[in-house]
């Protein structure tokens, strides 16, 4: 008998739908639009409206958190499935939809936006004890990274001001580049221990303050997944470990981690014109979407969780 958690993935029709939808999202963002920056303001806005329209298709109102950056209006896009038993206990999952200049941004970060949209679609037909928010962030990339104008910083700061009880934030950052032929690199030699040498798996990354959350997520995820994830937890001095939107939430006191194919430690197209839709592994993206969906579906019906120090 196939375990219930794996049933969706064993259903070939459902698997194909996830894969096809994910590829369609990536190709819209990286091929039809390409660069999504203030310089290509129309492309940035088209990406925002695409996400907003997709959120609206599945029964939950999508709202914008608007603000000004360099004299131009930009916005995060938020959709929420409100919990029926613990509505004030919130899980946030997010991904940024902008790119660096002169790149189509397929893996960075079209793959993660595709993941966000499909995880939302899969979860949208249910109601859970906890509330889950799906947030597409603007302006994650330089020159806005780590500044107050970073989309995730705007959102996390607002949540802190509102005293939102965010139990965890899951940052999707490049989830589409994988193959057994790719060499997996690490910032330090001792990090290779107990990890596959080939780049065909997803990683979970965060700072030491979030170690309990990372361990909890990894154990729950791996209980369902055929392809295991591996974690790296360490200080901000490790290059790349806080280079995404989870940084903004941690700075505002919310436990958070990044799910990623590890970016430039595997994908040499990182921040290059060669970060194209044709370079990605859509079976890998679809499998990651399914595994995250199954893990969240279980977590959202748990009792209160507290991973804060």
Q: Is residue 237 part of a domain?
A: yes
- The band of 1, judged by pLDDT with boundaries at 50, 70 and 90, is very low
DSSP-assigned states of every residue in 200-256: -S-EEEE-GGGHHHHHHHHHHHHHH-SS--EEEE--TTSTTTT-STHHHHHHTT--E
CA 307 and chain centroid, separation = 19
Q: Which helix (H) or strand (E) holds 49?
A: helix 41-56
Q: Count Cβ atoms below 10 Å from residue 29 Cβ, excluding itself.
A: 27
Average pLDDT over residues 184-196: 92
Q: Does the structure show a pLDDT above 60 at 107?
A: yes
pLDDT score of 87: 98
* Model pLDDT for residues 62-105, shown as the tens digit of each residue: 999 999 999 999 999 999 999 999 999 999 999 999 999 999 99
Burial class (CB in 10 A: 0-12, 13-18, 19+), 208: exposed
Pair type for strands 256-260 and 203-206:
antiparallel
Q: Is residue 305 part of a domain?
A: no
Q: Is residue 304 part of a domain?
A: no
Residue 21 vs residue 190, higher pLDDT: 21
pLDDT score of 12: 86
Average pLDDT over residues 185-198: 92
Among candidates 267, 274, 167, which has minimal Cα distance to 210?
Answer: 167
pLDDT score of 2: 41
pTM (predicted TM-score)? 0.96
Structure tokens at 110: 């079209």
**Distance from C-alpha of 92 to C-alpha of 95, rounded to nearest angstrom:** 10
3-class state of residue 258 by DSSP: strand
Q: Which residues contact 268 (CB under 8 A, 6 or more apart)?
A: 274
CATH (domain of 180): 3.40.630.10
pLDDT score of 6: 55
Cα→Cα distances 200→121, 176, 227, Å: 25, 10, 9
pLDDT score of 308: 85
Average pLDDT over residues 141-146: 97
Average pLDDT over residues 194-204: 95
Total count of domains within the chain: 1
Q: Is residue 10 part of a domain?
A: yes
Q: Which residues contact 52 (CB under 8 A, 6 or more apart)?
A: 62, 64, 77
- The band of 9, judged by pLDDT with boundaries at 50, 70 and 90, is low
Q: Which residues contact 292 (CB under 8 A, 6 or more apart)?
A: 93, 115, 119, 170, 172, 221, 259
The domain in which residue 123 lies consists of 4-299
Among candidates 151, 143, 111, which has minimal Cα distance to 21?
Answer: 111
Q: Are 272 and 103 in contact (CB under 8 A)?
A: yes
**Distance from C-alpha of 205 to C-alpha of 258, rounded to nearest angstrom:** 5
CA 70 and chain centroid, separation = 26
Q: Does the structure show a pLDDT above 90 at 42?
A: yes
Q: Are 121 and 21 in contact (CB under 8 A)?
A: yes
Q: Is residue 309 part of a domain?
A: no
Q: Is residue 132 part of a domain?
A: yes
pLDDT score of 7: 58
Q: Is residue 94 part of a domain?
A: yes
Average pLDDT over residues 236-251: 97
Pair type for strands 256-260 and 165-172:
parallel
* Model pLDDT for residues 259-303, shown as the tens digit of each residue: 999 999 999 999 999 999 999 999 999 999 999 999 999 999 999
């Amino acid at each position: 008998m196939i375990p219930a958690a794996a049933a969706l993935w064993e259903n070939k029709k459902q698997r194909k739908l996830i894969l096809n939808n994910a590829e369609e999202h990536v190709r819209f963002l990286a091929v039809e639009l390409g660069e999504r920056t203030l310089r290509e303001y129309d492309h940035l806005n088209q990406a925002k409206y695409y996400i907003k329209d997709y959120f609206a298709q599945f029964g939950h109102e999508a709202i914008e958190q608007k603000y000004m950056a360099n004299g131009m209006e930009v916005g995060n896009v938020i959709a929420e499935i409100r919990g029926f038993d613990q509505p004030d206990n919130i899980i946030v999952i997010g991904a940024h939809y902008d790119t660096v200049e002169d790149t189509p941004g397929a893996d960075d970060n079209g793959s993660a936006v595709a993941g966000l949209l499909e995880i939302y679609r899969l979860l949208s037909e249910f109601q859970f004890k906890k509330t889950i928010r799906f947030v597409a962030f603007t302006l994650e990339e330089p020159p806005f990274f780590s500044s107050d104008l970073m989309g995730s910083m705007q959102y996390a700061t607002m949540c802190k001001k509102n005293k939102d009880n965010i139990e965890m934030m899951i940052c999707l950052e490049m989830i589409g580049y994988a193959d057994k032929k790719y060499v997996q690199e690490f910032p330090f030699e001792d990090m290779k221990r107990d990890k596959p040498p080939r780049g065909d798996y997803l990683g979970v990354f965060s700072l030491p303050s979030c170690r309990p959350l990372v361990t909890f997520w990894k154990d729950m995820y791996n209980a369902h997944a055929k392809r295991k994830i591996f974690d790296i937890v360490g200080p901000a001095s490790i290059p790349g470990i806080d280079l995404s939107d989870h940084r903004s939430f941690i700075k505002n006191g919310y436990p958070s981690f990044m799910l990623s194919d590890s970016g430039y430690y595997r994908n040499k197209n990182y921040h290059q014109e060669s970060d194209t839709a044709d370079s990605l592994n859509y079976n890998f993206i679809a499998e990651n979407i399914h595994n995250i969906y199954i893990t969240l579906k279980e977590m959202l019906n748990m009792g209160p969780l507290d991973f804060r120090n």
